Structure 1
């Protein structure tokens, strides 16, 4: 499949005729300082073909709306998101474009699936792929979370088929409707910078070419971040190589131009951080990897649709030739959709950037729900109900929070670490773990309750990855090195303090990276740690493979895989019913 692409004639009419005012569009103007400038809206030119491009990213299987009071359920206080509303907005935007004689294309910049709510995750994210098919998605880059269940499973998401997963064992059930086989994605998953090792063969097509009226063609190159192997489970990407985003895209430009294609858009699962996250339709002070990538991509590339950072922005960043180029992101969870009016010069067949408009629109919940999406969601809600509603324990507080104290230790982090330490599935050869480590990024929400009762669904919302627990041997020296890696190396700029059980220590936030932990304070089971002594520890398979910038885990020995982290969590809550959060006194600062 290397550098083959797909060539398709592409037009999708709307399923509904209601029109939605798109709001004031933003024209891409000349940038100063390589950041953003918004100019007055430019009128369509009769010598140009106008393409209505709609984009989203980081949906993460959020089919049902999140609570409006949560960060995942609103944009600046406006309730937002939900597949039923997103589908209606997309239909309306396409209908409005069609009324103006414009064809539409809908694309995504990765992480459509993975780290999903139980409604999708319980069925291996098949419901989300079905929802994207129903919404008329046409192409998507892969993101790091597309590899959560491994690249073989990603290929199944594209081509279809059912897993023999025991018909619901481990709280997952592929193809639960035995009358219908999972058909896979109608859209093109793209992975230009993901290759099989020692080959030039890409895992999925690197790009797709879409044809529009007046003979215009637009190429979409899809990529994930090069660092994907560092933030996913090692087994999920075994046998694959991830290449540099800029080098990969730039190498494709001559091939596309030899096909007579001048209009090129990159779908990139990598992003940035505006200085004001509330400015969802502008680009104040943006920083992060996408800025360097955008400044280095070939000037022949006309726009970058990005993601990964779960932020929304609408930017103009100068290309290497000093000309402005559109760079956008649409937040996450289907709360925002980006509308771009690509204006293609009929004579040159290239995008006229100064006549191209971009607008980030909130997916508000004041429109009718899409009936087909409601039907799909209702179907899976019925199928997941027996799993989701099962009460697994009780808590004596309204919730157990992941909000950390000054040392970055949290009550929920302690609970999860305790559950991992207590899990019998990781005991092997008579060796029981005495220390547990949990990555804070894997704790996705507070543990909520209903009148004190905790359901499996509420527990799954906290830990949605279905990671396996792994026990292993580490020496005192290795554990000390691990603790320092929270504040150095890949984690020096943004510290990642692991949540722990069985170990206590003190560190200095203002200390020198590599020497922040007070070695004399590190204790296991209340006893000072000894450099040459071997200790049995437990963590999840993501960290075990060195994920989140913790290579010390890869030096451990005698690794043994146990059960799923969510099962350990559920069992611990059942065994400590009711559970009362304890103090955060395991990590101290000085």
Structure 2
């Protein structure tokens, strides 16, 4: 029967400071609280590994030899070989290519007694663990332990909770548990039948069971806890036990809450090295060992417990991490029979893997790696350190993200626009070596998990949440053992952050393809099924829509990418940069400033940045370079005279090429400009449709692109139906237009105009896409009335009357009325309003009718007749540009966006008259080579921050795009 261990700690070893936690000095990663073995004691020699991850390679024999050396030192009969999990998964090619069977064989040959189950044992699902890894044979001959792994919704153990071993007359229990974060670390679909509880509570529950005196449920004299969970730091990170416990979280709970009946604690999962003396809960001056070896068999954990031979009470202990031996393989094989078995297995596995593993699959011109911690800049280049700093951006992570966009970018593969990679998915580097060749084995080692590649859609706001979740929290709000994980992102994504901000408020700006992210827009994300199912606590991915499986697995797609892109080079430009103290708003002539940090990467070969080139987006102004020190700089710049309202200060780090964008609002600046244009008027209409209706439209209006009156009437009707306007030639439907209508997937199509404008053949082609309704009259005036009756048969609060012979005025008016009422074309030179139009306007019951154009366009007599029907206002200037301003001044008090179209020829503007209501934007007509000063003043007065030009440079010149004022 076991009793709580009592181990007086000699003052010579360590001291307590007012009851504070003890952390003994580390010497060779060893700790001890030992005394000379007394007569009547048993020395239990515990040999431990964690996070081996299928390391079948040139070091495996030495790994086995180290275990055997420790067995020999402690005595074969007194030794137990145990593991704290992740024996398989994320393995090297020689093991991964054989589904980790070589690793299982090696651990069988080394007579592994028991292992806590690790999260990677669930990589391919629970059934794979039970049916293949363990199997019926069994395959893995050791006990896989998971005291906190339950059948979903129950407290029924899904795995063995403990294993009992006999050592020199004492019963030793190994109790295993896995990190509670496991559901976030593996694909949820594979563990849907399981739940994962508090590991410490589970270990304590089993410990109480094993010491309750009831032989029927198992009894033990000595209890060892094996947790696949660990400290976030440790040697060589420089952290102490006190610091780790003070940080709270799972490891602190393990140290301070694990039952005092547990004699020793082995940990894993976080790939850290430490051998600490931890205070025993409830005891003063008494400690127990808490140990983790690092990973990959580079060290072997060795804890020797000196136990009372009768009771199992712990008298003393030593604990250390033993570096892998350097003894020659041949000598180890000759000395130890188990090592000879291991060598035969390893040789066979390496030979089998060599057959396919040595095949060249790609090439690099320099090392492309994960982030390396602990290195330094030598001659301006990052050198040395240890791989897999998951809290830092890397050249490899970003490259793999690019490969995901390449593999998943086509519509049939999911249409990915953005690639996202979790850092823990990258398990090896792409080293240049002697010839730059990347073999199958080397490629596979980078992505060894065999994940499926998926796509999903996130809004811009949701994508921001994903980036916020890099600052990790568990579902219950607690902080996991890795508090920050840096995502790899495709090259079209960049963002800034404030690391000191509150949770959920770190991200200060995101740019996609150089443009600020639209919170409401939808973006297709390509990644691994692990991540898109919410892995690594990136839970926002589970809120994605239209999630699709591409049918590809990561290894195959990755290797295909390497084959298609030989000579890959590392891109040292960072996607994420710290930004603080940034000026958000300043007027022309005032100074703005910002502090940037974290400019330097720590992937091998990364250059140390020395300067920032400073520019102002869209401005001709020049600025002096700013020096960079330790990846940080503070920049001050004067707002130039040609700054736009929505401005960006652009900082380019040299020599890395990292681009940092700092958004600045300039209240007295100019609006920014962009352009919607195609190869011709038809393609421009398609571009407008794609911009305004990216997800489709239930109705589409089609009008002639060669004659314009029908389109003028169609504009408000289309706006009322939330429909784009597309143009066609009279005789045939352009292919690009047909494709766009098919993309829009409408339920109905409305053709405006007779057969001379839009032929029967075009109508037939349209009918193959959706049902077609044609609205046509004997002339443009009757067509206009029929469109009004069709769209506004129940009346309208407003209406516009425009000359059927002067299109420029009607263009702005059709956009401005925004579907609230019709544009009715009249014979403007007539002295009176015709009877049919009079009846139509009276039937509308409009409160106000706007007559657009001066008296030369619409006569005084027509205006008087309109005034007899409803309140009438004339919106006409000395020319079409003034008329456009008057129309927009009447209908708009403010606007964030405006459209510009030429007032000289009209096809491009016809498309814009459909798009403008969708954006709630006024449409101004301007000359093709400049913008009238009064028009620019009115646009600025509306508060517009963006101006979109309709048509190519032959229609609206570059000078218009620069908002150059007419002389």
TM over 0.5: yes
Provide, for residues 241-295 of structure 1, a one-character-per-residue CA deviation record: whole Å limited to 9, x for no partner. Answer: 1111121111112321123423111111111255542789x96855463332121
| Aligned residue number for residue 89 of structure 1 | 66
> How far apart are residue 436 of structure 1 and its match?
1.2
Match status 1:506 vs 2:481: no
Asked whether 1:462 is paired with 2:446, we answer yes
Match of 2:163 in 1: 208
**How many Å apart are 1:531 and its aligned residue?**
2.4
Match of 2:134 among 159, 170, 190: 159
CA contact (8 A) 1:28 1:356 kept: no
Shift of the 29–50 alpha-carbon distance from structure 1 to 2, 3 Å rule, reads farther
> In the alignment, is residue 261 of structure 1 matched against residue 254 of structure 2?
no
Q: Displacement, 1:489?
A: 4.0
CA separation of 1:343 and 1:275: change in aligned 2, threshold 3 A: closer
2: distance between equivalents of 1:343 and 1:411?
Answer: 49
Task: Report the counterpart of residue 343 of structure 1 in structure 2.
Answer: 306
Q: 1:411 to 1:371 in 2, by over 3 A?
A: same
For the pair shown, the structure with the greater C-alpha radius of gyration is 2
How big is each residue's C-alpha offset from its partner over 1:111-145, in whole Å with a ceiling of 9 and x where there is no partner?
Answer: 11111111111111111110001112111101111
Tell me, yes or no, if structure 1 residue 479 matches structure 2 residue 463: yes
Which residue among 20, 24, 31 is the counterpart of 1:33? Answer: 20
Deviation for aligned residue 1:511 = 4.0
Q: 2: distance between equivalents of 1:138 and 1:272?
A: 25
**CA distance 1:255–1:473, shift in 2 (3 Å):** same
Judge which range, 462-471 or 271-280, deviates more: 271-280
Aligned to 2:836: none
Q: Find out whether 1:419 has 2:403 as its counterpart.
A: yes
* Distance in 2 between residues matched to 1:107 and 1:475, nearest whole Å: 47
1:394 is aligned to 2:363:
yes
Corresponding residue of 2:726: none
Higher mean alpha-carbon deviation, 88-97 vs 261-270, is at: 88-97
Name the CA shift for 1:311/1:585 in 2 (closer, same or farther; >3 Å).
closer
Hey, what does 2:432 align to over in structure 1? 449
**Cross-structure match for 1:516:** 506
Q: CA deviation at 1:36?
A: 2.8
Shift, 1:541, TM fit: 1.3
- CA distance in 2: counterparts of 1:192 and 1:291, whole angstroms: 19
| Mapping of residues 402-417 of structure 1, within 5 Å | 402-403=370-371, 408-417=392-401
Closer, same or farther in 2 for the Cα pair 1:556/1:274, shift >3 Å?
A: closer
The equivalences for 1:133-532 within 5 A come to 133-160=108-135, 184-214=139-169, 216-257=170-211, 258=213, 259=215, 260-273=219-232, 275-277=234-236, 286-287=244-245, 289-322=250-283, 323-347=286-310, 349-352=311-314, 354-367=315-328, 368-369=331-332, 370-397=339-366, 399-403=367-371, 408-424=392-408, 427=410, 432-450=415-433, 451-487=435-471, 489=473, 494-501=483-490, 502-519=492-509, 522-532=510-520
Q: Does 1:571 align with 2:560?
A: yes
In the superposition, relative to structure 1, how do residues 325 and 408 fare at CA in structure 2: closer, same or farther (>3 Å)?
closer
Q: For residues 581 and 98 of structure 1, do their structure 2 counterparts lie closer, same or farther at Cα, with a shift above 3 Å needed?
A: closer
Structure 2 CA distance for aligned equivalents of residues 93 and 431 of structure 1: 53
1:90 offset after TM fit, Å?
Answer: 2.3
Q: Distance in 2 between matches of 1:551 and 1:415?
A: 24
Quote the offset at 1:39 in angstroms.
5.7
Task: Return the alpha-carbon distance in structure 2 between the equivalents of residues 63 and 461 of structure 1.
Answer: 12
Deviates more, 1:85-94 or 1:52-61: 85-94
2:427 counterpart SS class: coil
**Residue 481 to residue 141, structure 1, CA distance change in 2 (3 Å):** same
- Once the two structures are TM-superposed, the CA of residue 495 in structure 1 deviates from its matched residue by 3.1
Deviation at 1:231, TM superposition (A): 1.8
Give how far 1:205 is off. 0.7
- In the TM superposition, residue 419 of structure 1 has moved relative to its aligned partner by 0.6
Task: Identify the residue that residue 13 of structure 1 maps to in structure 2.
Answer: none
Q: Which has the higher contact order (CA 8 A, sep 6+)?
A: 1
Q: Which runs of 5+ in 2 are unaligned?
A: 1-11, 25-30, 333-338, 373-381, 383-388, 580-967
User: Secondary structure, in 3 states, of the residue corresponding to 1:400?
Assistant: coil
In structure 2, how many angstroms separate the alpha carbons of the residues matched to 1:305 and 1:235?
A: 30
Residue number in structure 2 paired with 1:176: none
CA change 1:505–1:362 in 2 (3 A) is closer
Counterpart-to-counterpart distance in 1, 2:198 and 2:568? 47
- What do residues 25-78 of structure 1 show as CA deviations (whole Å, max 9, x unaligned)? xx997866233345674121222222222111111111224xxxxxxxxxxxxx
TM-score for the superposition, normalised by structure 1: 0.81
Q: Which residue of 2 aligns with 1:114?
A: 89
Is the 1:140–1:189 contact (alpha carbons within 8 Å) kept by the matching residues of 2? yes
CA distance in 1, matches of 2:220, 2:571: 62
Question: Structure 1's 94 and 232: CA in aligned 2 closer, same or farther, altered over 3 A?
Answer: same
Q: Distance in 1 between matches of 2:445 and 2:84?
A: 23
Change (3 A) 1:268 1:476: same
| Structure 2 equivalent of residue 70 of structure 1 | none
Change (3 A) 1:428 1:511: same
TM-score of the superposed pair, with normalisation by structure 2: 0.50
How many correspondences in the alignment? Answer: 518
Once the two structures are overlaid, the 10-residue window that deviates more, 248-257 or 523-532, is 523-532
Q: Return closer, same or farther for 1:513/1:44 CA change in 2, 3 Å cut-off.
A: same
